[in-house]
Copies of this chain bind each other. A is one copy, B any other.
Amino acid sequence: MALTLRQLEIFLAVAETGHVTSAAKRIHLTQSAVSMAISEMENILNGPLFDRQGKKLILNDRGRFLLPYAREIVNKVRNIELLLSEPEGELVGHLHVGASSTIGNYVMPYVVSAFTREHPKVYINLVVGNSRQIEQQVEEGVLDIGFIEGLVHSNKIESQEWLTDRLNIIANPQHPLCQKKELSVHDLVDARWIMREEGSGTAEIFKNTISKYISNFEVFLELGHTEAIKKAVEAGMGLSCLSALTVCREVENGWLKILHIPELEITRQLLIIIRKDKLKTNLLREFISFCNFIKDCCQASEICLTSPYKLLQLLEHHQEMVV
Contacts and interface: CB of A to CB of B under 8 A. Distances in A.
B6 A85 contact: no
A135 to B, nearest CB: 16
Contacts of A87: 46-47
A78 interface: yes
A9 B3 contact: no
Interface string A148-173: 00000000000000000000000000
Given A73-B77, A76-B73, A86-B46, A93 B1 contact: no
A289 interface: no
A279 B48 contact: yes
A283 interface: yes
Given A73-B77, A78-B1, A66 B51 contact: no
Contacts of A313: none
A95 interface: yes
Given A1-B77, A6-B4, A141-B58, A279 B64 contact: no
Interface of A: 1-6, 8-9, 44-48, 51, 53, 56, 58, 60-62, 64-66, 69, 72-74, 76-78, 80-81, 83-87, 92-96, 123, 141-142, 144, 275, 277-279, 281-284
